[in-house]
Amino acid sequence: MGSTKTMNMIEAINSALDIMLERDPDVVLMGEDIGYFGGVFRATAGLQAKHGKTRVFDTPISECGIIGAGVGMAAYGLRPVPEIQFADYIYPGLDQLVSEAARLRYRSAGDFICPMTVRSPFGGGIFGGQTHSQSPESLFTHVCGIKTVVPSNPHDAKGLLIAAIEDNDPVIFFEPKRIYNGPFSGYYDRPVEPWSKHAASDVPEGYYRIELGKAGIVREGEALTILTYGTMVHVVQTVVAELRVDAEIVDLRTLLPLDVDTIEESAKKTGRCLVVHEATRTSGFGAELAALVQERCFYHLEAPVERVTGFDTPYPHSLEWAYFPGPVRIAGAIEKIMKD
Amino acid sequence: MTSKKSNLAPLRLHIPEPKFRPGDEADFSDISIPAIDAIARPDEASVPADIHSLAFGLVRVLDNDHQAKGSWNPNLDAGQLRLMLRNMMLTRAFDDRMFRAQRQGKTSFYMKSTGEEATSVATAMALASDDMCFPSYRQQGILLTRGYPIVRMMNQIYSNSQDHLKGRQLPIMYSAPEHSFFTISGNLATQYPQAVGWAMASASRGDTRISAVWCGEGSTAEGDFHSAMTFAAVYNAPVILQVVNNQWAISSFSGIAGGERTTFAARGLGYGIASLRVDGNDPLAVYAAMRWAADRARTNNGPTFIEYFTYRAEGHSTSDDPGAYRAAKEFEKWPLGDPVDRLKKHLILLGEWSEEQHQAQHEELADLVKKTQKEAEANGILGHGMHQPFETMFEDVFEEMPWHLKEQCDQMVAEQYRKFGPEWEPK
Ligand SMILES: Cc1ncc(C[n+]2csc(CCOP(=O)(O)OP(=O)(O)O)c2C)c(N)n1
Ligand SMILES: [Mg+2]
C-alpha cells in the first residue's frame, strides 16, 4: 500500500485502472473517447500514452459491439474493462450483457467465463436531462449472473474497482458522476466541496482491494438503520447531522452480492430501517432491500421499512431538484419512521 | 496461454489513428476531390446496382471558381439561392447566440452546427414541407428553414415557462410535429429505424409523403443504423437515409467508425440501396442530391443513402474541448471550404448579391436573434424560477396518471411547502 495521496473520484478510478494495467497484461480498456482523449470525464486520461494503444483504445459508437467484443476478449482469456460513456447509453448493449456475459459460466458449465468489468458513470444532479442522469442498477441486479457495484468515495472506488477487475465474473461498476469531483450534500445551491476536505480522499497510491459483497458502516447509530449507496450516502449524512438523529448509515457499496449480514445485524439492532436511492421507486433496488429486511428482521422491527427514491418519471431537466430525493424527502421519511 | 507457432508471424491488432493531433499542422492535400461531373447525374429511376460508383465519387455543383456547373446543377433561381443563404446565415447567427447564452450560464448545454449548415438547410429546402424529418441533434437548420418560431426554440433551450416540452428535455432536443420534425432523442441512431417505419407506414397507406433521417458518421456504428438499412431495403421504403460525415464523433475521428477502409456512402451498397457521396459544404450539391433522392422515393424507386462529406468546425458541444484531441485550424484548411462563404461567392459572381448586402444581412440576422433572445428570456432562463409548474413533471408518463404517480405528485407538492415555506404557491 505504502504512501497515500489526495484523490478525487476520477483520480482514484484512474489510479485503479493504471495499477491493473501495470499488474496484469490481460487487462484492456476500451470505450468511446477513452483513448487519446482519456474519456469525457477524464477517467482514463494518460493511460493510452502510458500503456499503449492496444491496451487502451477508442471504440466505434456501438455499446452492443463494446460489450459483445468484451465477452469475446474474455473468452480468449483477457480481462476487458469497457467503459459505457453514460449508463443511459448501455441499453444497446443489454442483450450482450444480460443474455451473454451474465450466463456464459452457467450455460457452459464453467467452460467459458466472463471476467469483464463494465464501468459507467450514472445518476443525476448535473442537469443532464433524461439521457445523462439515469440510475439503472436494478436492471442488472435483477439479472442472474452480474455483480453490481456502486462506490461512494475515492478510497472505495479504487479498492472496489481493483477487486471488480480481479473478479472472475462480470461486474457492472456504476460511478456516481455527481460526486466525481466532490461529495454532494444534497443542497444544490451551496458551493461544491472538493474531495480534498473529505477523509476518504486519502487514497493509497498502490494496490489494495475492497472485497465485493462487503458493506461499509459510514456512521454507527442506535435509532434507525439507513441503507444507501453512491451519491445518496452523502446526502443522507447531511440530513442525519441536521436532524441530530442517531442513525446507523450503511453504505452498501456492492448491491450484488449483497452484504446481508451487515444489513440484518444493523436492522435488528435499531429496529427501524430506511432505504434511500436515487433510482426510480417501483421495482427499484429499495424494494429488494425492504423485502429482505422484512423477511429477516420482521420481529425486530418497530416501524414499516420506508423507501426514499427518485420519482417514477423520466429524469426531468429543469425540475431536477424537485425530482431528486434530496434532504426534504429524506428528512420527512426519517421523521415518519421515528414517529411510528 | 498464447499459442505461438514458430513458422507464423505474430498477429497484430490495428488501432486507427487520425493523421493530426494537437500540435500538428493539419494538411488535407491527400483528400482527392473529383472533378465536377466525374460521374454524371443518373436518372432517378436507376437501379442501385448500376450506379455503385456514386458511392465513391463526390457529387459537386459549385466549382472552385464559384460557378455552378454540371449535370447535378439544380438551377435554382436567384431568389431561392438568396433564401438558402439566409437560412444558413440565420442558423449560424442562432448558434452563435445560444452558444454564448450557455457560456453566460443561462442554460446547461448547447450544440452548434457551424460548417454543416448546408446539410440541414439545403436538404429541408429540397423536401416538401410535410415530408417527415427524423433529425439528430445537429439539424436545427431544418426548423429554421421551415419557419419554426425562433422564440420557441429558445424557450426550449432555456427550459422556461413557455417551453412546450415543459422543461423535460436537454436543450436543443426540439420536437415540432406541425413542422414534420420528430422529437429528438439523446440516444444515438434510434431515429434511423423509426424513419424507415414512418416511410413504410406512409407507403402502406398510399400516402405521398416520404421521410428523411440524419445521423453522424460516428453513429453509423450503432446496431439501429444497420437494422434501419435492412428494413429500408427489404420494404423498398420511401426514405432518405443520410449520414453527416463531419469527420469527428466527439474526440474520435471517422476512422474509429470504419472510415479508413471505404466511404460511408459505400455502406449502402451491401444493402442494395442507391448511395451517393456528396460535398456537404456545397449547398447546391446537397440540394441536388436530396432532390434526386426525394424524387426516387416519391416515385416508388425506394430508399437512398447519402453521405455528406463535411467538417465539424466547432467543438462537439459546450461540454467539449476539441483543442485536447485535434489539430488547431483544421477547419480553416478544410479543402471544401465553408458552405455560407461558398454560396455567398456564387451569388456575388451571378451579380445577385454583394459584400455590402451580405454584411447587412449578417447584422440584420444577429439583431433578429438578439431581439428574439430578449423575448425568450422574458419567459425565464434555466434555474431562475420561471419554469413549468412542478406538477407537469408527472404528466405524460402515461395518457392517464396512475395512482402511484398521483401519490408521488402530492408528495412532491408537500416537499415544496416544506422547502420554501407556506407562502409557496404551486404555479
Ligand atoms: C447510444 C449512445 N451512445 C453514446 C452517446 C454519447 N454521444 C453523444 S454524441 C456522440 C458522438 C456522435 O458522433 P457523430 O455520430 O459523428 O455525430 P456528430 O456529433 O459528429 O454530429 C456520442 C458518443 C449517445 N448519445 N448515445
Ligand atoms: Mg460526426
**Would an 8 Å CB–CB cutoff place B412 in contact with chain A?**
yes
CA distance A192 to A187: 9
Q: Are residues A13 and A142 in the same domain?
A: yes
What's the pLDDT at A153? 98
**Does A204 fall in a domain?**
no
Residue B170 to residue A36, Cβ atoms within 8 A: no
Residue with cell 440501396: B273
Cα–ligand 2 centroid distance for B24 (angstroms): 21
Stated as kind and residue range, the H or E segment containing A240 is helix A232-243
Q: Is residue B140's pLDDT more than 90? A: yes
Residue A318 to residue B251, Cβ atoms within 8 A: no
Q: Which of A179, A204, A238 is the endpoint of a domain?
A: A179
**Would an 8 Å CB–CB cutoff place B20 in contact with chain A?**
no
User: pLDDT tier at B423 (50, 70, 90 boundaries)?
Assistant: confident
Looking at all shown ligands, the one closest to residue B215's CA atom is 1
Question: Which residues, judged by CB distance below 6 Å to any ligand atom, belong to the binding site of ligand 1?
Answer: A 32, 61, 63, 85, 89, 92; B 138, 186-188, 215-219, 244, 246, 248-250, 312, 316
Q: How many CB pairs under 8 A join A and B?
A: 137
**Atom number of ligand 1 nearest to Cα B186:** 25
Q: Is residue B235's pLDDT more than 90? A: yes
Which range marks the domain in which residue A302 is found? 213-339
pTM for this predicted structure: 0.97
Cα–ligand 1 centroid distance for B68 (angstroms): 34
Nearest chain B residue to A93 by CA: give it. Answer: B223
Decide if the complex's ipTM is over 0.95. yes
Q: Are residues A314 and A219 in the same domain?
A: yes
Q: Are residues A138 and A19 in the same domain?
A: yes
Catalytic residue list of A: 132
In this prediction, residues B18-34 reach a mean pLDDT of 95
**Does A206 fall in a domain?**
no
**Does A61 fall in a domain?**
yes
Q: Where are the alpha helices (DSSP H) in B45-190?
A: 78-103, 118-126, 140-145, 150-158
Q: What is the CATH number of the domain that holds A305?
A: 3.40.50.920
Q: Are residues A40 and A128 in the same domain?
A: yes
**Does A191 fall in a domain?**
no
Cα–ligand 2 centroid distance for B217 (angstroms): 5
**Would an 8 Å CB–CB cutoff place B47 in contact with chain A?**
no
Q: What is the CATH number of the domain that holds A52?
A: 3.40.50.970
Q: Are residues A218 and A268 in the same domain?
A: yes
pLDDT tens, position by position, A192-216: 899 999 999 999 999 999 999 999 9
Helix (H, G, I), strand (E, B) or coil at A25: coil
Helix (H, G, I), strand (E, B) or coil at B80: helix
Under DSSP, the state recorded for A97 is I
To 5 degrees, how large is the angle CA A278–CA A282–CA A286?
Answer: 55
CA distance B208 to B213: 17
The pick from B250, B264, B308 for probing ligand 1's pocket by mutation, whose C-beta has the most ligand atoms within 8 angstroms, reads B250
Diameter of chain A by CA atoms?
59
pLDDT tens, position by position, A248-274: 999 999 999 999 999 999 999 999 999
Q: Which of A179, A199, A229 is the endpoint of a domain?
A: A179
pLDDT tens, position by position, A72-97: 999 999 999 999 999 999 999 999 99
Number of structural domains found in chain A: 2
